Amino acid sequence: MRTSHTHSTFIAITITCLLFFCIPLVAFGITLDQAKQQGLLGERPDGYLGLAKPSASPDTVNLMKEINRKRRDVYRKIAAKDGTTLPVVEALAGKKAIQKTSPGQLIMKPNGTWTPKP
Q: What is the pLDDT of residue 1?
A: 45
pLDDT digits (tens, 9 = 90+) for 2-58: 456 666 666 666 666 555 544 454 445 789 999 999 999 999 999 999 999 999 999
Mean pLDDT of 58-75: 96
Q: 0.95 cut: is pTM over it? A: no
C-alpha span between 105 and 12 (Å, rounded): 22
- Domain extent, residue 104, equals 2-113
Residue 96 in domain: yes
Domain assignment of residue 55, yes or no? yes
The rounded distance, in Å, linking the Cα atoms of 114 and 50 is 9
pLDDT of residue 6: 64
In the chain, the N- to C-terminal Cα span, in Å, equals 35
Lowest mean pLDDT among 5-19, 56-70, 83-97, 103-117: 5-19
In a domain, 118, yes or no: no
Give pLDDT, residue 19. 58
Would residue 74 count as lying in a domain? Answer: yes
